Amino acid sequence: MIHLKEVTKIYKENNVLALDKVSLDIERGEFVFIVGTSGSGKSTLMKLLMHEEIATSGSVIVNGKDVTKLKPKEVPYLRRILGVIFQDYRLLEDKTVYENVAFAMQVIEAPRKIMQRSVNTVLDIVGLRDKFKSFPAQLSGGEQQRVAIARAIVNDPRIVIADEPTGNLDPETSWDIMDIFQRINAAGTTIVMATHDKTIVDQMQRRVIEIAGGKIIRDAARGAYSKDEPKKEESPFDRFFFR
């Protein structure tokens, strides 16, 4: 699904080495946390996957294609198989909840009937069907992030890339958002999530890839945020999925 081989990224404008010969494989259906301090290289890694940045050397294979070699006209086709979610939501303020989600389908010129059905379905998934006429400014931060998730999954992507999706949310709302990600992943979608949220990573015990100084320093199948195993305490996630 995702395969990086000897990937190096150097930002020419300031000669910063962001990634240094990184190799990793993420298989279909995995849920992977990318962790590390600010400046470690994790955001660069996410940008390489969605072709916002291009590797200086090495190969970045996403769904069988080397995105480092894509022609400009091929990039939109790559992004059709990706659902991207950001910390700052990036919603269109002059559009309603329904229109924000539908916009992702308008870009690919989906038929109107399919668009209506798909938008309503994903709004049900994120629990916002009753807010379909609301504008972003009328929503809480958690609700705005739910809209962003709905927009990211409405085209049934094979991979969801989430960059700090709970960074601006309170702990309880963060767990609600992770509940949605868990259900998306259970349906077969691969999820790659960069996060600083230690509590979520420790409790979920999914695969953890830690980056420091542009290198992968740890890859744990059922890992915690840090190398030392934490004392696990009950969280809302436990109540949702383990009872």
pLDDT of 68 higher than 80: yes
Q: What is the pLDDT of residues 152-165, one digit of tens each?
A: 999 999 999 999 99
Instruction: Check residue 229 and give its pLDDT.
Output: 56
CA distance 193 to 195: 6
Q: For the chain, what percent of residues have pLDDT higher than 90?
A: 81
Instruction: Check residue 75 and give its pLDDT.
Output: 86
CA distance 115 to 120: 8
Model pTM score:
0.88
Q: What is the pLDDT of residues 14-49, one digit of tens each?
A: 999 999 999 999 999 999 999 999 899 999 999 999
Q: Within a 10 A sphere around the Cβ of 108, how many other Cβ atoms?
A: 12
Q: What is the pLDDT of residues 234-243, one digit of tens each?
A: 455 454 444 3
Residue bearing tokens 């059905």: 117
Q: For the chain, what percent of residues have pLDDT higher than 70?
A: 93
Alpha helix positions (H), the chain: 42-49, 75-80, 97-107, 112-125, 141-153, 171-186, 198-204, 236-241
Do 165 and 34 form a contact (C-beta atoms < 8 A)? no
